[in-house]
């Protein structure tokens, strides 16, 4: 059996960011302004602060404008909706992202629905979810888009592949399944009530694991030669007390059988922000009538 190919998400994300930077420069030259991404952070969740910081830095690095709104945890629903309304109307803002989760008491569903679908760069608005489902052009959720780009980096056509997506969340499992369907895969969505999950996964030429359970998908669940995209990010105990990150797939076991696999970290993770930047440029280009 040939050695499994490691899908290097970091390198693929970097290449994607370079492409976006070229597009962003062209956008600015044609419109006389940079594409703008507004990120709204409410409260002081440490993980969210780290994400928002890297989003801002990478936005600027690709030649786009980063606009950040940091609001206190006590912000009311009305105040937050007011800000979204202003960002919707602001011509310099092409993309709006509200960092989730919101502090308790704020209704994230209502906030997402208040975002102009044309600026919904997270792709979570029901209008964009509906467009994805009906095959209309839409802003597509970033992590699922990253998964598909990673799979296509090793198999440019996914046509006819048996794909099994483990997990059915609105932010990962369901949209990734829709995207794979659009790529002409035969898609099965598995979840916590699926009977004989190992048997279902064994059918797959392409497995996307988005569960949130460390190393749940074992090596002997995987068909030899399959492509495995591991979305899971789980911190488990390690000898040094700091903990280490693992995916939803038992990496070393799987590596012995797969055709190609994404590592954790360094696989799907780096693609998420790169896809957010791509969505921002897409949204900007559509709004400016350039796409």
Residues marked active site are found at 55, 99, 122
Instruction: Give, as ranges, the residues between 164 and 193 that touch ligand NDP (CB under 6 A).
Output: 166-169, 171-173, 190-193
- The reply to whether 25 sits near ligand NDP by the rule CB under 6 A is no
- The reply to whether 269 sits near ligand NDP by the rule CB under 6 A is yes
User: Across-strand partners of 188?
Assistant: 164
Angstrom distance (rounded) from CA 140 to CA 138: 6
- The reply to whether 268 sits near ligand NDP by the rule CB under 6 A is yes
Task: Write the DSSP assignment of 114-171 as a string of letters.
Answer: HS-GGGBTT--SHHHHHHHHHT------HHHHHHHHHHHHH-S--TT-EEEEE---TT
Quick one: DSSP state of residue 178? H
Instruction: Give, as ranges, the residues between 200 and 229 that touch ligand NDP (CB under 6 A).
Output: 210-213
Measured from the CB atom, the residue of 59 and 75 that comes closer to ligand NDP is 59
Measured from the CB atom, the residue of 1 and 47 that comes closer to ligand NDP is 47
**Alpha-carbon distances of 156 from 151, 152, 160, rounded to whole Å:** 8, 4, 12
- The reply to whether 83 sits near ligand NDP by the rule CB under 6 A is no
CA angle (73 as vertex; 69, 79 as ends), nearest 5: 60
Smallest separation, CB 149 to ligand NDP (Å):
13
Measured from the CB atom, the residue of 12 and 190 that comes closer to ligand NDP is 190
Measured from the CB atom, the residue of 117 and 212 that comes closer to ligand NDP is 212
Angstrom distance (rounded) from CA 240 to CA 273: 30
Q: How many residues does the chain have?
A: 291
Smallest separation, CB 197 to ligand NDP (Å):
6
Smallest separation, CB 147 to ligand NDP (Å):
9
- The reply to whether 233 sits near ligand NDP by the rule CB under 6 A is yes
User: Across-strand partners of 236?
Assistant: 244
Contact window for ligand NDP (CB under 6 A) among 18-26, 36-44, 118-126, 230-238: 230-238
Residues 147/176, Cβ–Cβ less than 8 Å:
yes
Instruction: Give, as ranges, the residues between 125 and 154 that touch ligand NDP (CB under 6 A).
Output: 143
Determine which residue in the list 272, 279, 280, 285 makes contact with ligand NDP, applying CB under 6 A. 272
For the chain, first and last CA: distance in Å?
A: 44
- The reply to whether 121 sits near ligand NDP by the rule CB under 6 A is no
- The reply to whether 274 sits near ligand NDP by the rule CB under 6 A is no
User: Across-strand partners of 176?
Assistant: none
Q: Give the count of beta carbons closer than 10 Å to the beta carbon of residue 57.
A: 12
Determine which residue in the list 234, 266, 286, 288 makes contact with ligand NDP, applying CB under 6 A. 234
- Which residue from 14, 61, 68, 7 is spatially nearest to 42, judged by alpha carbons? 68
Angstrom distance (rounded) from CA 194 to CA 24: 44
Determine which residue in the list 98, 114, 177, 231 makes contact with ligand NDP, applying CB under 6 A. 231
Number of residues that bind ligand NDP (CB under 6 A): 25
Smallest separation, CB 78 to ligand NDP (Å):
28
131: left (phi over 0), alpha (psi -120 to 50) or beta: alpha
The footprint of ligand NDP (CB under 6 A) covers 143, 166-169, 171-173, 190-194, 197, 210-213, 231-234, 268-269, 272
């Amino acid at each position: 059996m040939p050695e499994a190919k490691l899908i290097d998400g970091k390198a693929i994300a970097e290449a994607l960011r370079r492409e976006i930077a070229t597009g962003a420069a062209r956008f600015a030259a044609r419109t006389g302004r940079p594409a703008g991404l507004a990120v709204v952070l409410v409260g002081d969740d440490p993980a969210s602060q780290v994400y928002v910081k890297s989003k801002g830095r990478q936005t600027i690095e690709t030649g786009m404008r980063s606009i950040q709104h940091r609001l206190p945890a006590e912000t009311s629903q009305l105040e937050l909706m007011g800000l979204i309304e202003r960002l919707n109307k602001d011509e310099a803002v092409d993309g709006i992202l509200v960092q989730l989760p919101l502090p308790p008491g704020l209704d994230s569903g209502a906030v997402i629905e208040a975002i102009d679908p044309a600026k919904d760069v997270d792709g979570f608005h029901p209008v964009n979810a509906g467009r994805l489902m009906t095959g209309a052009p839409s802003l597509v959720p970033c992590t699922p888009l990253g998964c598909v780009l990673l799979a296509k980096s090793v198999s440019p056509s996914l046509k006819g592949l048996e794909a099994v997506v483990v997990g059915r969340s609105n932010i990962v499992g369901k949209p990734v399944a829709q995207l794979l369907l659009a790529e002409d895969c035969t898609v099965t969505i598995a979840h916590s009530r699926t009977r004989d999950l190992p048997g279902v996964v064994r059918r797959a030429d392409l497995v996307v694991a988005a569960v949130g359970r460390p190393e749940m998908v074992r090596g002997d669940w995987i068909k030899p030669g399959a492509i495995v995209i591991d979305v899971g990010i789980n911190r488990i105990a390690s000898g040094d007390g700091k903990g280490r990150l693992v995916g939803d797939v038992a990496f070393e076991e799987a590596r012995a059988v797969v055709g190609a696999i994404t590592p954790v970290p360094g696989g799907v993770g780096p693609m998420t922000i790169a896809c957010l930047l791509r969505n921002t440029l897409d949204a900007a280009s559509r709004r400016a009538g350039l796409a």
